[in-house]
Amino acid sequence: MSTNDRGTVKVENGRYRFKGKFHYGYPNDPIRNEDGELMGITNPRDLTHVHMYGGEAPFFEGLGQGKLLGTRCDDSNCEANGSIFIPFRIHCPDCLSKNTIIDMTETAQKGATVHTFMITERTGAFNTLPKPIRFVNVEFEGVPTILMGYLSVGEPKIGMKVVPIFNTTNPTYTILDLSWVPEETNETELPEGFTFG
């Protein structure tokens, strides 16, 4: 696929404006067995999906600006009142009222701990993370949820203190813009494009 006419989208007046190519078709090939008999065909294609972040957009925008945003239920009638959600939840899962967006960057910088982790060499198609991948599930002081992410420096351990780093140089606007490193990691050790925010 050539990338210069790759599809881009804008939203104008509440409508999508598509520009460029979103799908590329190719001729199919027959699949035969060792005796030359027809078994099936290939179905090649490339396509680009569009996906809206809706109420989560501030979170993904925030990462590129070095901010970790969470949300909090501020409905005084709700049993979960005061609960902080990170992963960012647009609505409270209990009362369904709209949560308040809060900046969790400082909390994360001060007291984030590895709850659990895993290391694997195996990935699926479209993976862009360097291998082996080190997932860390990060716990924050006073937060009932545990955020999944990946560790970019060092080896993970349960209970280890970590701090967030952000792809502020060339953001992808995905969860990959957020990563974690052990406390006291030097700025020079961070992967390309990442900063402490």
- Binding residues for another protein, rule: CB under 8 A, are 31, 33, 39-40, 43, 51, 53, 56, 60, 79, 83, 85, 87, 89, 93, 115-129, 133, 135, 137, 144-150, 158, 174-176
Q: Roughly how many angstroms between the first and final C-alpha of the chain, as a whole number?
A: 35
Binds 76: which of Zn ion, another protein, none (CB < 5-8 Å by kind): none
> Rounded CA gap, 107 and 161, in Å?
12
Dihedrals phi, psi of 170, to nearest 5 degrees: -140, 65
Q: Taking CB under 5 A as the rule, does residue 92 contact Zn ion?
A: yes
Q: Which of 187, 194, 189 is nearest to 149 (CA)?
A: 194
CB of 91 to Zn ion, least distance (A): 8
Q: How far is the CB of 131 from another protein (least distance, A)?
A: 9
For 60, residues 6+ apart whose C-beta sits below 8 A from its C-beta are: 53, 173, 174, 175, 177
- Rounded to whole angstroms, the Cα distance separating 77 from 81 reads 7
Site for Zn ion (CB under 5 A): which residue of 29, 46, 94, 155? Answer: 94
Q: For residue 108, what is the enclosing H or E element?
A: helix 105-111
Give least dist CB 153 to another protein, A: 17
For Zn ion, the closer CB: 84 or 162: 84
**In the bound complex, what is the minimum distance in angstroms from residue 13's beta carbon to Zn ion?**
34
Between 79 and 189, whose beta carbon lies closer to Zn ion? 79
Cα dihedral: 83, 88, 94, 98 (round 10) = 100
Among 63, 68, 73, 163, binds Zn ion (CB under 5 A): 73
Which one, 147 or 163, has the nearer CB to another protein? 147
Residues at the site binding Zn ion, with contacts judged by CB under 5 A: 73, 75, 78, 80, 92, 94-95
